[in-house]
C-alpha cells in the first residue's frame, strides 16, 4: 500500500451528494462531507481529496464564486482551514490534490469538513466534470489525523458514474482495402460533444453508397441504449473506391465513411491498430478489460496492445493482462498483443514500448518505483541498453515513444528489436524522433498510437487537459490477420501512421534495373535477398540505378492539403493538388510546434486576428478538440481564440469578403505579424517562434478543395553515399497528418 494502513476504520467517513450518473463534461455541483473519526484531526493535520492524473475535471478555484469550478470548504466547528490545489501532491496515479489543512483549531469525532465542488450558492455554473466516461469516478479521501503527514486512505470512498451525453456527431468506419467479393463490415456510432461513444442516439439513418454494396440496407436505426451498430458480411464485387454516407431524416449528410478501395486481389491487407494505451490499474481510466472491449467494440480496431507503465505493473496485474490478451485475441477478428511500456528515465534512454508475440513472457521493468513486491527485482532493466540486452532472445518488437519522458534513440537503439518510432500520440506530434533516427543512419518505420489515458483506445479524443492531440493509429500491411502477420508487418516496417484518420495509402519505388531486396536489415550481417523491380514502404534495397520512380496512390478521408516528399532530412518537394489559379477567398492560419522535448513542451497560442480594410465572412477552427478552448468571431473584422500545441498544430480557415484587399494582423504572445492580404498565396508565410518547429504559418487555399484521390509519379535521384530514406508526410485539410514508413535504398 502506498499510504499508511494504521486503523483506517477510525479515520472517519466521506460521502458525496448527489449520487448517480452525470454526463461527461457537464457542469454539476457536488457536496463532499468528511466526518472525522475517533482520532478527529489534530491542529496542523489535514485531509486530501484526490483525483486521477487522467481526469480533466475543471481545475478548482477559490476566488471567484460566480465563475466555473468554484470550490468552497468549511469546518462545522469553525476551525480555520487552509486550502490549496496542486496537480501533483500525491502518489500517482492519484496526484491531482485538493489539500485541506487545519491551521487553527482541531476536529473531534463527528466534526465535519464540507467541500462544495462547483458551489452554486453565489451564482456560479458549477464544476465541469471530466470529459470522458467512468463507472466509478472517485473522490478519494486521505486523512492525516495525527498531523504527521502520513496519510491513511478511508476504507470506503465516495463515487459517482460519468456517462456519455447525447450524440451530436456520427462516425462511419470501413476497412481501407479489400479484394472484390470479399466480406467486410461497416461500423456506425454516435459520439457526444467530447468524443465519447453515446448510447443516446436513437435515430433512423439512411445509408447511401456510391457503389453497389450487397447486404447494405437502405435504412437502419441505432436504438436507445446501444453504443454502436455493425453491419457484417457486406460485399462489393467490382474494383472501385467505396464511400458510404449517413443521411438524417431531413436529408442532410451527417457523416461520411473513410474510403474503402476494392481491388481484384491483394497480397497484403491493411489492419488498423492502436498499440499503446493504459487503464486504471496504472495511470489510465477504467479497467484493462474495459480497455480491450472499447478497442474492439467502440473504436472498431483490428489490433490493440495495453501498454501500462512498467513501474506500476504488479506481478498479479501482469498475469491478469496476459490472461486478457489470451482471451481477446481472436485471429481473423481481433488481435490483442501482450506488452508493456518500459518507462525508463530520460537520462537512461527514455520510454520504449514492448510487444510480445505470446503470453507468459517476463516483464523487465525500468524500476519498481510503485511496485512494493521486490522479489523479482533482479529481472529489472534500468536502462534502455539493459532492456535490449534482456530482450535479445525474445519474440517481440520494440518502438520508441515520447510521453512525459522521451526516447533518446541517439543514446540507445537496437535495430534487431526497435523497428519503429512513434511520431504521434495524444501527447503531441514528434517528427524530430524520425529525424533523430535518420541522422543516426537507423532504418526504422513510423507508427502512431494514442498512449491514451482516458479509456478510449483507437478513438482517443484529448479532452480538456494538456494532452494536445487526438490519438493516432497505425495501419499495418500484413499477410494474415493474426499476431504472426501483424508482427511481420511491424518487423518489415510495412506500415504507416496517422493522427487518427483512416486513409488508403500506397507508396512504392520502381527500378529500371533489378534492385536487391533484403529480407532483413543487412547491417545486422548476412541475410537472404532477391531481385525485384518494385518495393514498398519499409523495404531495404541496394540498387545500381541512379534514380528510382516514386509511385504514390492515396485516397484520403478528407481533401488533401499537401504532400511532402522527403529523402531523409531533406524535403524534395511539397506537392499541392491545386494551382495558383484555383486559389480563392480562403486563408489558413496555423500555429504549431512545442517548447522543447520534455514534459513542459506545451506552447500557449492564445491570441486574436484583426482585418483592416476587409472582413471575415466566416471562419472555422482546425484541431479544436478541447471545448474549454475558445474560438469566437465577435465582429466581422476580428477572430479570437485560446489554444495550445504540444508538437502538433491548430488554427483556422477564414473566408474573406474581399480576396485581395486589406491587412491581416495576428497577435499572440509569441508571434505578432502584419500581413497584406494580397501577399498571402499558395506558399507558406512563416513566422518563427523558437522552440521545436514553433511558429505560425499563413497561406491561401481554394474556396473548396475537391482533391481526395491522388496518384503521383516522381523521379527521385539517389545519393551515392548512405541511405536514401524516401517517405511521405501528408496533410489533410481537416487537420489530420499521415506518414509513410521510409523505403531505404542505398547504391
Q: What is the CATH number of domain 169-263?
A: 2.60.40.10
What are the start-end ranges of the E strands in 499-648?
504-518, 529-536, 540-542, 547-555, 560-567, 570-575, 586-594, 603-604, 607-612, 616-622, 631-635, 638-641, 644-645
Question: Exposure string (b/e) for 513-531, b if CB count within 10 Å is 16 or more?
Answer: eebbbbebbbeeeeeebee
Q: How many Å is the Cα radius of gyration of the chain?
A: 27
How far apart CA 388 and CA 407 sit, in angstroms, is 14
Strands 269-277 and 473-478: antiparallel
Query: Following DSSP, what letter does each residue of 45-65 receive, concatenated?
Result: -EEEEEE-TT--PPPPBSS-T
Strands 737-740 and 529-536: unpaired
Our CA angle for 611, 615, 620, nearest 5°, is: 95
468 — pLDDT class (breaks 50, 70, 90)? confident
Averaged over 475-490, what is the pLDDT? 98
Residue 223: burial class (beta carbons within 10 Å; 0-12, 13-18, 19+): exposed
Tell me: pLDDT of 460 over 90.
yes
- pLDDT score, position 203: 86
Q: What is the CATH number of domain 269-500?
A: 3.20.20.140
The rounded mean pLDDT for the chain is: 96
Tell me: pLDDT of 154 over 70.
yes
Q: Which of 399, 401, 319 is nearest to 355 (CA)?
A: 399
Q: What is the CATH number of domain 503-577+707-747?
A: 2.60.40.10
Q: Which of 558, 506, 556 is nearest to 534 (CA)?
A: 506
Tell me: pLDDT of 2 over 80.
no
Question: Exposure string (b/e) for 68-106, b if CB count within 10 Å is 16 or more?
Answer: bbbbbbebeeebebebebeeeebebbbbbbbbbbbeeeb
Our CA angle for 445, 309, 448, nearest 5°, is: 25
Q: Which of 99, 117, 89 is nearest to 45 (CA)?
A: 99
Averaged over 264-272, what is the pLDDT? 97
Tell me: pLDDT of 202 over 90.
no
Averaged over 337-353, what is the pLDDT? 96
Cβ of 5: how many Cβ atoms within 10 Å? 8
Residue 47: burial class (beta carbons within 10 Å; 0-12, 13-18, 19+): buried
- pLDDT score, position 1: 56
How far apart CA 366 and CA 377 sit, in angstroms, is 10
Residues 6 or more apart whose Cβ sits within 8 Å of residue 470: 426, 460, 461, 462, 499, 500, 623, 625
Q: Which of 116, 122, 129 is nearest to 65 (CA)?
A: 122
- In this prediction the pTM is 0.96
Question: Exposure string (b/e) for 420-433, b if CB count within 10 Å is 16 or more?
Answer: bbbbbbbbbbbbbb
- pLDDT score, position 404: 81
The share of the chain scoring above pLDDT 70, in percent, equals 100
pLDDT in tens, 499-510: 999 999 999 999
Q: Is the dihedral of CA 488, 491, 497, 500 positive or negative?
A: positive
The residue extents of the domains of the chain are 8-163, 169-263, 269-500, 503-577+707-747, 580-701
Tell me: pLDDT of 704 over 60.
yes
CB 353 within 8 A of CB 276: yes
**Three-state DSSP class for 431?**
helix
Q: How far is CA 108 from CA 40, 42, 169, 700, in A?
A: 4, 8, 52, 69
pLDDT in tens, 6-21: 999 999 999 999 999 9
How far apart CA 294 and CA 455 sit, in angstroms, is 8
Question: Same CATH topology for 269-500 and 503-577+707-747?
Answer: no
pLDDT in tens, 666-695: 999 999 999 999 999 999 999 999 999 999
pLDDT in tens, 60-102: 999 999 999 999 999 999 999 999 999 999 999 999 999 999 9
Q: Which of 687, 616, 690 is nearest to 658 (CA)?
A: 616
Q: What is the CATH number of domain 8-163?
A: 2.60.40.1510
How far apart CA 2 and CA 725 sit, in angstroms, is 48
Q: What are residue 256's DSSP bridge partners?
A: 245
Q: How far is CA 34 from CA 38, 89, 443, 533, 543, in A?
A: 13, 19, 58, 73, 73
Q: Which of 365, 359, 395 is nearest to 383 (CA)?
A: 365
Residues 6 or more apart whose Cβ sits within 8 Å of residue 525: none
CB 399 within 8 A of CB 418: yes
How far apart CA 38 and CA 109 sit, in angstroms, is 5
Q: Which of 252, 298, 81, 258 is nearest to 175 (CA)?
A: 258
Residues 6 or more apart whose Cβ sits within 8 Å of residue 223: 202
467 — pLDDT class (breaks 50, 70, 90)? confident
How far apart CA 201 and CA 167 sit, in angstroms, is 5
How far apart CA 552 and CA 452 sit, in angstroms, is 31
Residues 6 or more apart whose Cβ sits within 8 Å of residue 210: 241, 242, 243
- pLDDT score, position 598: 83
Q: Which of 530, 498, 528, 501 is nearest to 514 (CA)?
A: 530
CB 649 within 8 A of CB 592: yes
Tell me: pLDDT of 573 over 70.
yes
CB 299 within 8 A of CB 455: no
Averaged over 112-125, what is the pLDDT? 98
Residue 663: burial class (beta carbons within 10 Å; 0-12, 13-18, 19+): middle
Amino acid at each position: 500500500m502506498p499510504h499508511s494502513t494504521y486503523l483506517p476504520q477510525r479515520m472517519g467517513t466521506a460521502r458525496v451528494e448527489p449520487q448517480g450518473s452525470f454526463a461527461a463534461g457537464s457542469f454539476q455541483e457536488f457536496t463532499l462531507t468528511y466526518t472525522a473519526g475517533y482520532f478527529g484531526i489534530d491542529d496542523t493535520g489535514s485531509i486530501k481529496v484526490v483525483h486521477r492524473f487522467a481526469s480533466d475535471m475543471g481545475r478548482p478555484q477559490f476566488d471567484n464564486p460566480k465563475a466555473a469550478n468554484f470550490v468552497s470548504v468549511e469546518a462545522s466547528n469553525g476551525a480555520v482551514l487552509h486550502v490549496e490545489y496542486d496537480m501533483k501532491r500525491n502518489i500517482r496515479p492519484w496526484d491531482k490534490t485538493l489539500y485541506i489543512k487545519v491551521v487553527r483549531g482541531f476536529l473531534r469525532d463527528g466534526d465535519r469538513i464540507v467541500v462544495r465542488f462547483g458551489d452554486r450558492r453565489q451564482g456560479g455554473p458549477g464544476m465541469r466534470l471530466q470529459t470522458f466516461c467512468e463507472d466509478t469516478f472517485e473522490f478519494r479521501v486521505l486523512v492525516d489525523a495525527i498531523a504527521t503527514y502520513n496519510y491513511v486512505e478511508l476504507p470506503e470512498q465516495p463515487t459517482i458514474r460519468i456517462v456519455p451525453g447525447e450524440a451530436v456527431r456520427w462516425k462511419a468506419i470501413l476497412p481501407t482495402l479489400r479484394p472484390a467479393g470479399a466480406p467486410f463490415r461497416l461500423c456506425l456510432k454516435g459520439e457526444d460533444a467530447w468524443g465519447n461513444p453515446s448510447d443516446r442516439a436513437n435515430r433512423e439513418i439512411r445509408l447511401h453508397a456510391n457503389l453497389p454494396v450487397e447486404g447494405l440496407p437502405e435504412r437502419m436505426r441505432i436504438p436507445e441504449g446501444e453504443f454502436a451498430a455493425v453491419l457484417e458480411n457486406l460485399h462489393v464485387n467490382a474494383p472501385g473506391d467505396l464511400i458510404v454516407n449517413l443521411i438524417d431524416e431531413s436529408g442532410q449528410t451527417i457523416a461520411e465513411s473513410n474510403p474503402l478501395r476494392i481491388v481484384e486481389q491483394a497480397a497484403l491487407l491493411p489492419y488498423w491498430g492502436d498499440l499503446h494505451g493504459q487503464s486504471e490499474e496504472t495511470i489510465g481510466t477504467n479497467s484493462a478489460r474495459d480497455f480491450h472491449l472499447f478497442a474492439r467494440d467502440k473504436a472498431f480496431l483490428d489490433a490493440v496492445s495495453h501498454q501500462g507503465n512498467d513501474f506500476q505493473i504488479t506481478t498479479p496485474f501482469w498475469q491478469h493482462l496476459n490472461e486478457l490478451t489470451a482471451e481477446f485475441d481472436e485471429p481473423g477478428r481481433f488481435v490483442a498483443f501482450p506488452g508493456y511500456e518500459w518507462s525508463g528515465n530520460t537520462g537512461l534512454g527514455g520510454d520504449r514500448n514492448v510487444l510480445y508475440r505470446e503470453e507468459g513472457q517476463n516483464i523487465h521493468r525500468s524500476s519498481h518505483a510503485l511496485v512494493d513486491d521486490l522479489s523479482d527485482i533482479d529481472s529489472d532493466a534500468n536502462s534502455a541498453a539493459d532492456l535490449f540486452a534482456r530482450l535479445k532472445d525474445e519474440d517481440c518488437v520494440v518502438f520508441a515513444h515520447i510521453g512525459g519522458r522521451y526516447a533518446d534513440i541517439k543514446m540507445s537503439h537496437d535495430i534487431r528489436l526497435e523497428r519503429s518510432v512513434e511520431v504521434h500520440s495524444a501527447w503531441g506530434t514528434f517528427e524530430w524522433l524520425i529525424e533523430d533516427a535518420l541522422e543516426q543512419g537507423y532504418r526504422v518505420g513510423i507508427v502512431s498510437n494514442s498512449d491514451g489515458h482516458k479509456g478510449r483506445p483507437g478513438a482517443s479524443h484529448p479532452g480538456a487537459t494538456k494532452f494536445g492531440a487526438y490519438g493516432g493509429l497505425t495501419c499495418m500491411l500484413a499477410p494474415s490477420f493474426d499476431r504472426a502477420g501483424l508482427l511481420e508487418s511491424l518487423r518489415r516496417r510495412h506500415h504507416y501512421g496517422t493522427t487518427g484518420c483512416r486513409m488508403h495509402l500506397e507508396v512504392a519505388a520502381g527500378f529500371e534495373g533489378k534492385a536487391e531486396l533484403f529480407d532483413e536489415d543487412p547491417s545486422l550481417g548476412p541475410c537472404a535477398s532477391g531481385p525485384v523491380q518494385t518495393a514498398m514502404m519499409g523495404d531495404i534495397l541496394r540498387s545500381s540505378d541512379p534514380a528510382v520512380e516514386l509511385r504514390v496512390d492515396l485516397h484520403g478521408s478528407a481533401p488533401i492539403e499537401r504532400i511532402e516528399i522527403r529523402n531523409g532530412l531533406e524535403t524534395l518537394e511539397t506537392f499541392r493538388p491545386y494551382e495558383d489559379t484555383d486559389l480563392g477567398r480562403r486563408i489558413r492560419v496555423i500555429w504549431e510546434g512545442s517548447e522543447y522535448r520534455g514534459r513542459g513542451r506545451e506552447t500557449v497560442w492564445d491570441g486574436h486576428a484583426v482585418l483592416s480594410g476587409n472582413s471575415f465572412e466566416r471562419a472555422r477552427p482546425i484541431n479544436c478538440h478541447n471545448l474549454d478552448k475558445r474560438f469566437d468571431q465577435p465582429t466581422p473584422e476580428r477572430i479570437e481564440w485560446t489554444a495550445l500545441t504540444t508538437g502538433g498544430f491548430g488554427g483556422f480557415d477564414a473566408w474573406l469578403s474581399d480576396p485581395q484587399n486589406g491587412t491581416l494582423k495576428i497577435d499572440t504572445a509569441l508571434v505578432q505579424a502584419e500581413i497584406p492580404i494580397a501577399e498571402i498565396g499558395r506558399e507558406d508565410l512563416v513566422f518563427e517562434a523558437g522552440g521545436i518547429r514553433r511558429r505560425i504559418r499563413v497561406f491561401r487555399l481554394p474556396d473548396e478543395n475537391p482533391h481526395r484521390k491522388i496518384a503521383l509519379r516522381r523521379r527521385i535521384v539517389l545519393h551515392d553515399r548512405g541511405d536514401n530514406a524516401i517517405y511521405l508526410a501528408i496533410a489533410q485539410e481537416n487537420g489530420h497528418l499521415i506518414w509513410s514508413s521510409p523505403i531505404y535504398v542505398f547504391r
